[in-house]
Structure 1
């Protein structure tokens, strides 16, 4: 696995964790977490 993919995924997870912290709604939390991961995986694949 390329180091860029690993780093991007880690950054995406960190961003998701911050989103989760400020999002009390579970559905929104899951949505933003998945959205963040998809965005970072998309960037990492470029």
Structure 2
């Protein structure tokens, strides 16, 4: 077995987890507006 098998197994697990999440998790009733990005704090991410 090489790395491709490990990748294929993880892709299958990821797809199964996404489908299970869509089936189990409740849908949100309303969609809230996304907050504006913090432009003053953004440079701190690179420091």
TM-score normalised by the chain length of structure 1: 0.48
For the pair shown, the structure with the greater C-alpha radius of gyration is: 2
